[in-house]
Amino acid sequence: DTEVTQTPKHLVMGMTNKKSLKCEQHMGHRAMYWYKQKAKKPPELMFVYSYEKLSINESVPSRFSPECPNSSLLNLHLHALQPEDSALYLCASSQNREAFFGQGTRLTVV
């Protein structure tokens, strides 16, 4: 199984809503990532978890809150987002070498 599964695939939320994005992998990878990708732009790193501990936070606003409850799961909690936060949110996992990316959650903030 070389899949990274993200849910939901699409999400529309209001600026006062609280929602969560979920990411799951069963490859035994101990590094997991959240990226944000705007249209026609490269993915931008948001967070890196290594052995379930947050190791990199790329100065992401506090309205984005990551969580790694165990080695297979990665969540991104969203609260009070802005319309400019609308983007494709990608999760990835790696074990020292290549990364496997999920299909992403396309988020629209209205």
Partner 1 sequence: AQSVSQHNHHVILSEAASLELGCNYSYGGTVNLFWYVQYPGQHLQLLLKYFSGDPLVKGIKGFEAEFIKSKFSFNLRKPSVQWSDTAEYFCAVRGIGYGQNFVFGPGTRLSVLP
Q: Which residue from 27, 60, 80, 99 is in contact with partner 1, where contact means CB under 8 A?
A: 99
Quick note: the x/- pattern for partner 1 over 75-94, rule CB under 8 A, is ---------------x-x-x
Tokens of 54: 């947050």
Please state the closest distance from residue 18 (CB atom) to partner 1, in A: 25
d(CA 33, CA 54): 10
Q: Which residue has the tokens 């695939």?
A: 9
Q: Binding to partner 1 (CB under 8 A): which residues in 36-75? A: 40-45, 48, 50, 55-56
Tokens of 43: 């993915």
Q: How many residues bind partner 1 (CB under 8 A)?
A: 25
Tokens of 39: 């249209």
Neighbours of 33 (CB within 10 A): 24
Kindly list the residues in this chain that would bind partner 1 in the complex (CB under 8 A).
Answer: 30-31, 33, 40-45, 48, 50, 55-56, 90, 92, 94, 96-104
